[in-house]
Amino acid sequence: MTSTILKAHMTKTLSELAAHVGGEVIGDGGLVIHGVRPIGDATEGYITFVSNERYVRKLRTTQASAVIVPPQHKDIGKPVIVTPNPYLAFARILRLFAAEPEPRSTGVHPSAVVSPSAKLGQDVRLYPFAFVGDHAVVGDRVTLHPGAYVGHGCQIGDDTVVHANAVIYDGCQVGKRCVIHANASIGNSGLGYAPDPAAGAGRFWYPIPQMGIAVLEDDVAIGPGCSVNRGALGNTIIRRGAKIGGHVVVAHNVEIGEDTIIVDQTGIAGTAKIGKRVTLAGQVAIAGHIEIGDRVTVGGQSGVHQNLPPGGTWLGTPAVPIDQTRKVWAILPRLPELRDTIRSLERKVADLEAKLAALSARNDPSK
């Protein structure tokens, strides 16, 4: 069964693919490749890849005609492309085979609503019920899918795509070549409230006006269902090239550095600053008003409550260096056994103390 997302009838030789990714061919460079498939599903005529040691064992059983491998796994008995970064090579080869989207006509659908004061660039696509507010500026070749909302005074850079029902609130700025997926919210007011003990019932939390905006620089990707709050004073800023997965919450005045990647369901509290090329795995929680240094990796479901220096991998709640967390986790299954051992030792120590006290009393001449 031919995949509908691959270019029909496209083929490349193994040598052509290796040249495309700067890899080395071992084996038949003239081997014809029809596409890319996962290692467990690949069949004759397809290439696959191994970048994770967990899948090395499948090299013995894969039916793929060729494999993209790191140097340490080049001798597998079948044609390979050897490269130090198989995952990146896989991505580049997959793009060769990926079907181009069908050309779509440009223009504004009759049901879209565009303010007379808004400015639309050339070759824009506005689908049904898209909305562009007063004085908004939409760049060239921007696509607004059905129900997309661009508020008053927003600026949307060239070649940006806003998917269905995503909302960009008033005044926010989105750079060039950004992708905002369905149901994302850019520039909504965050959880900004001040306690007012003297207020009446139901008015304890006094709303703080959120006067800033949210700024997405060029080449930013925002996943579905994300919330990027506008700043309270100053702006919330997502720097160039950052990629954010689904259902991530970025609170007011957060700054996320260039080329950082944030996996689904992560939450970042207000005024936190995340460095460049940081990786935050799924369901990470970042406390407010802290700084995460450049190139830090934080493992899934970790809780970060303090500043982290540049570099290094952190894991756990509270997050500590990963080697320390692994030592703690290695002990956890033995805790019941260790508890019983400690209780037994405590009883033995108590018995010894009692015997020593009795012996001391018998040897005391004054008694």
Q: Where are the domains of the chain?
A: 12-97, 166-318, 333-362
Report which of residues 357 and 285 the model is more confident about. 285
In the predicted structure, residue 101 carries a pLDDT above the cut 80: no
191 in Cβ contact with 251 (< 8 Å): yes
pLDDT band at 1 (very low <50, low <70, confident <90, very high): very low
According to CATH, what is the number of the domain 12-97?
3.40.1390.10
Dihedral, CA of residue 67, residue 71, residue 75 and residue 79, to nearest 10? 30
Q: Is 9 a catalytic residue?
A: no
* Residue tagged 């957060």 (tokens): 254
pLDDT tens digits along 248-269: 999 999 999 999 999 999 999 9
150 in Cβ contact with 143 (< 8 Å): no
CB atoms within 10 A of CB 11: 12
Percentage above 70 pLDDT, the chain? 96
Three-state DSSP at 236 gives: strand
Q: Give Cβ neighbours of residue 201 (< 8 Å, ≥ 6 apart).
A: none
pLDDT tens digits along 36-83: 999 989 999 999 999 888 888 888 899 999 999 999 998 889 999 999
* Residue tagged 């460095």 (tokens): 275
Q: How confident is the model at residue 98, as a pLDDT?
A: 86
pLDDT tens digits along 113-162: 999 999 999 999 999 999 999 999 999 999 999 999 999 999 999 999 99
CATH class of 166-318: mainly beta
Q: How confident is the model at residue 346, as a pLDDT?
A: 95
Ramachandran sector of residue 322 (left: φ over 0; alpha: ψ -120 to 50; beta: rest): alpha
Single out the catalytic residue among 34, 163, 181, 252.
Answer: 252
230 in Cβ contact with 250 (< 8 Å): no
Q: How confident is the model at residue 367, as a pLDDT?
A: 60
pLDDT band at 196 (very low <50, low <70, confident <90, very high): very high
pLDDT tens digits along 88-100: 999 999 999 987 7
In the predicted structure, residue 6 carries a pLDDT above the cut 80: no
Q: How confident is the model at residue 3, as a pLDDT?
A: 46
Q: How confident is the model at residue 358, as a pLDDT?
A: 85
Q: Mean pLDDT for the chain?
A: 94
In the predicted structure, residue 4 carries a pLDDT above the cut 60: no
pLDDT band at 200 (very low <50, low <70, confident <90, very high): confident
Q: How confident is the model at residue 178, as a pLDDT?
A: 99
In the predicted structure, residue 335 carries a pLDDT above the cut 50: yes
Measure the CA–CA gap between 30 and 327, rounded to whole angstroms: 49
